[in-house]
Amino acid sequence: MKTLTSLEQHPGCINTTLRIIGEKWTALILKELTTGPKTFSEIETLMDSISPRTLSQRLDKLEDESIIIKKVYCQHPPRYTYELTTKGQELETVLRKMAEWGAKYS
């Protein structure tokens, strides 16, 4: 069995990843964005029972970390779509492995 430190190329890199995507709902938001850009209301509908405030906070954090990009599609009132950046698209492998593990042990 590998030890945690043997998994990390740099000390603390797993902690860094969890700081960005480890909060409740974040991985599920990313999963929805792997299929393409979505509006806030589309994500909210797909994420049964997430509060708008929580969704907004998670999207802001993902944008701050350059995982997603917010693009204006309507000026008045301001409306946006959210999509994965290249950095965010690289997380699809992580999400796929999480899904495989969950399917295996559910």
Q: In this predicted structure, what is the pLDDT of residue 5?
A: 52
Among candidate residues 101, 87, 75, 79, the one with its CA nearest the CA of residue 17: 87
Token pair recorded at residue 104: 């295996």
Burial of 59 (0-12, 13-18, 19+ CB in 10 A): buried
For the domain spanning 15-105, the CATH number is: 1.10.10.10
Q: What is the distance between the alpha carbons of residues 81 and 94, in angstroms, rounded to a whole number?
A: 23
pLDDT digits (tens, 9 = 90+) for 57-80: 999 999 999 999 999 999 999 999
User: Residue 11 above 90 pLDDT?
Assistant: no
Domains of the chain, residue spans:
15-105
User: Residue 3 above 70 pLDDT?
Assistant: no
Contact 68, 84 (CB under 8 A): yes
Q: Model-level pTM?
A: 0.88
Residue 40: pLDDT band with limits 50, 70, 90: very high
